[in-house]
Amino acid sequence: MKKLGLGVLGLGEGRSIISAGVNSPLWSVARLCDLSEELGKARCAEFGLDPKVYASSLETMLADPAVDVVGIYTPDHLHADHVIQTLKAGKHVICTKPFLHDLSRAREVLDAQKASGKQVFVGQSSRFFAPFTRQREHFESGAFGDIITVEAYYHADHRWFLKKEWAKNDAFKWLYGCISHPGDLVRWYLPDIEEVMGYSSLSENGRSLGLAHPDTFHFVMKATNGVTARVSGSYSGPVVPLQRDSNMSCILRCANGASQGDYYDLRYAWKIGSQSVVETFEDQDAHYFRFGGHSHHAGEYQNYIEYFARSITEGKTPKPDAREGIVTVALMQAMEESTQIGRPVKIKEVLGRFGLTDLMS
Ligand SMILES: NC(=O)c1ccc[n+]([C@@H]2O[C@H](COP(=O)([O-])OP(=O)(O)OC[C@H]3O[C@@H](n4cnc5c(N)ncnc54)[C@H](O)[C@@H]3O)[C@@H](O)[C@H]2O)c1
């Protein structure tokens, strides 16, 4: 299989996909682009790439025939622009979460994809983290039976992130940036969420650091088949010690059993009948966490770029694709509106306002 040429736009968290690309037999890292030349050159040096690989503009990167796919890791509110530009240049897209920061350009993104005939893959990294991947495969085996309810949360002390200028921008919202993880995990199991209701608040910790929008969230939601789910997140305060909590978890309660995927400890626990098992993927720690600490996601990205490469070669639509990604953005928008009006909001109504009802079955 011919290696795919990867261009990386945005070299903060983009560092993780560079690491994924240089370590994958399916990819070759062709170009790196960032507004900061200093960062671009530093990343070239870090990964042993020729400094000429650095491009100061997306246009330059897109003009390079060696680039087949662009991985987009720029601030959330720039994703729509960068996805559309990349598709118009005839390249495939990997876009990190949140796919879009609102729905205003969703139709334009879909039209650009259609016109290009290229693939768009939304980098919902949590799906590609071993405990959650294993939980999904185990669920798909049918052993657990029908879902009774799903609970997912992502809590983290992200005050360090608020040092970034764009985090104080009015367009920056933790609801889209972080709730997109547990929101997507719930939609993985319950794609047809019909309606959502919730509360949010901005803590004094977040406000004093310049955050403009809420940092604390609790939501309940209902799928069209009547199954209910819960999603929570809190981002400007300390978290419970890791021995007691995973920070990100997904719990499935089903007719014949229950399972829980956990972020920290790379742990997966499940129970069916009298069988009760805790599995660990701790031996894969070095695959997932390559730069010290647990704040980068190189392992998840390596798993997803290899999945995406296979999708391209086999002509299959990757999941989540642009359509699925946009409905997840609509779910987040419905969540946001619900916190503002104090009532449940239907996803279909939100999609309808942007001429997108065809995305919901
Ligand atoms: N688990 C995950 O999937 C995960 C984890 C972390 C971050 N992210 C996402 O990655 C994105 C970037 O976050 P980050 O933490 O790296 O932010 P960051 O601010 O550290 O990095 C963004 C980079 O983009 C560059 N940039 C901005 N505009 C540009 C442009 N027009 N052209 C070229 N470069 C440009 C900036 O110079 C900066 O280096 C966000 O959307 C975030 O939600 C995803």
Contact 270, 277 (CB under 8 A): yes
pLDDT in tens, 118-172: 999 999 999 999 999 999 999 999 999 999 999 999 999 999 999 999 998 888 9
Q: Are residues 325 and 211 in the same domain?
A: yes
| pLDDT band at residue 89 under the 50/70/90 scheme | very high
CATH of the domain at 242: 3.30.360.10
What's the domain range around 274? Answer: 127-282+321-353
For the chain, what is the domain count? 2
Q: Domain boundary residue among 66, 94, 125?
A: 125
* Whether residue 270 sits in one domain with residue 223: yes
Tell me: pLDDT of 1 over 90.
no
| Atom number, ligand 1, closest to the C-alpha of residue 74 | 24
Whether residue 287 lies inside any domain: the answer is: no
**Are both 178 and 80 inside the same structural domain?**
no
* Dist. CA 75 → ligand 1 center (Å): 5
Q: Rounded to an integer, what distance in angstroms lies between the CA atom of residue 234 and that of residue 236?
A: 6
Q: For residue 294, how far is its CA from the centre of ligand 1 (angstroms)?
A: 17
Domain assignment present for residue 267? The answer is yes
Are 143 and 275 found together in one domain? yes
Q: What is the pLDDT of residues 278-294, one digit of tens each?
A: 999 999 999 999 998 76
Q: Which of 92, 125, 158 finishes a domain?
A: 125
Of 272, 308, 290, nearest to 118 by C-alpha is 308
Count CB neighbours of 305 within 10 A.
25
Q: Are residues 151 and 72 in the same domain?
A: no
Query: Do 9 and 137 sit in the same domain of this protein?
Result: no
DSSP annotation of 321: B
The minimum-distance atom of ligand 1 relative to the CA of 125 is 3
Q: Tell me how many helices (H) and strands (E) the chain has.
A: 13, 15
Q: What are the CB-based long-range contacts (under 8 Å, 24+) for 89-92?
A: 89/62, 89/63, 90/116, 90/118, 91/7, 91/62, 91/67, 91/118, 92/68, 92/118, 92/119, 92/120, 92/121, 92/308, 92/312
Domain-embedded: residue 305: no
Confidence of residue 87 (pLDDT cuts 50, 70, 90): very high
* Of 280, 231, 281, nearest in space to 251 by CA: 231
pLDDT in tens, 7-48: 999 999 999 999 999 999 999 999 999 999 999 999 999 999
Residue from 17, 85, 96 whose mutation best tests the ligand 1 pocket (most atoms within 8 A of CB): 96
Co-location of 278 and 137 in the same domain:
yes
- Tens digit of pLDDT for each residue in 291-340? 987 678 999 999 999 999 999 999 999 999 999 999 999 999 999 999 99
Domain identity same for 190 and 338: yes
Structure confidence at residue 294 (pLDDT): 66
> Ligand 1, closest atom to CA 123?
3
Pairing verdict, β 275-280 and 228-234: unpaired
Residues 126 and 248 sit within 8 Å (Cβ to Cβ): yes
